Amino acid sequence: MVTAASTTAPLIEKHTIGYVPPEDRHGKVRDLFTLWFGGNIAPLPIVTGALGVQLFHLNLVWGVVAILVGHLLGGVLMALHSAQGPQMGIPQMIQSRAQFGSLGALLVVLIAGVMYIGFFASNIVLAGKSLHGVVDSVPVPVGIIIGALGSGIIGIIGYRFIHVLNRIGTWVLGIGIVLGFGYIFTHVQTADFLTRGSFNISGWLATVSLAALWQIAFAPYVSDYSRYLPANVPVASTFWTTYLGTVLGSSLSFIFGAVAVLATPVGMDTMDAVKLATGSIGPLMLVLFLLSVISHNALNLYGAVLSLITLVQTFAYRWIPTAKSRAVISIIVLASCCIAAVGASANFIGHFVDMVLVLLVVLVPWTAINLIDFYAIHKGQYDIDSIFHVDGGIYGRYNPQALLAYAIGIAVQIPFMNTPLYVGPISAHIDGADLSWVVGLLITTPLYWWLATRDSAYKRRLSTGKLATGI
Domain boundaries, the chain: 4-315+322-345
Start-to-end C-alpha separation, the chain: 18
pLDDT of residue 182: 93
pTM: 0.87
pLDDT of residue 179: 92
pLDDT exceeds 80 at position 465: no
How far is 118 from 179, CA to CA, in rounded Å? 31
- How does DSSP assign 306-341, residue by residue? HHHHHHHHHHSTT----HHHHHHHHHHHHHHHHHHH
pLDDT > 90 in the chain, percent: 30
Mean pLDDT calculated for residue range 419-444: 84
H/E element, 176: helix 159-186
pLDDT level of residue 359 (50, 70, 90 thresholds): confident
Measured between alpha carbons, how far is residue 316 from residues 311, 328, 394, 433 in Å?
A: 9, 17, 19, 44
pLDDT, tens digit (0-9, with 9 covering 90-100), for 279-328: 888 888 888 888 888 887 888 888 888 888 888 888 877 777 777 888 88
pLDDT exceeds 60 at position 176: yes
Q: Which fold has domain 4-315+322-345?
A: Hydantoin permease (1.10.4160)
Check if the beta carbon of residue 304 is closer than 8 Å to that of residue 116. Answer: yes
How far is 163 from 264, CA to CA, in rounded Å? 35
pLDDT level of residue 374 (50, 70, 90 thresholds): very high
pLDDT level of residue 6 (50, 70, 90 thresholds): very low
pLDDT, tens digit (0-9, with 9 covering 90-100), for 116-149: 888 888 788 878 877 887 788 888 888 888 888 8
pLDDT of residue 11: 64
How far is 19 from 91, CA to CA, in rounded Å? 8
pLDDT of residue 13: 66
pLDDT level of residue 165 (50, 70, 90 thresholds): confident
- Computed over every residue of the chain, the mean pLDDT equals 84
pLDDT of residue 364: 92
Torsion of CA 437, 441, 443, 444, to 10 degrees: 120
Check if the beta carbon of residue 21 is closer than 8 Å to that of residue 190. Answer: no
Mean pLDDT calculated for residue range 56-70: 95
pLDDT exceeds 90 at position 242: yes
How far is 304 from 338, CA to CA, in rounded Å? 15
pLDDT of residue 171: 86
Check if the beta carbon of residue 85 is closer than 8 Å to that of residue 299. Answer: no
Measured between alpha carbons, how far is residue 363 from residues 97, 127, 158, 262, 414 in Å?
A: 15, 27, 25, 33, 13
- How does DSSP assign 184-226, residue by residue? HHHS---TTTTTSS---HHHHHHHHHHHHHHHHTTTTTGGGGT
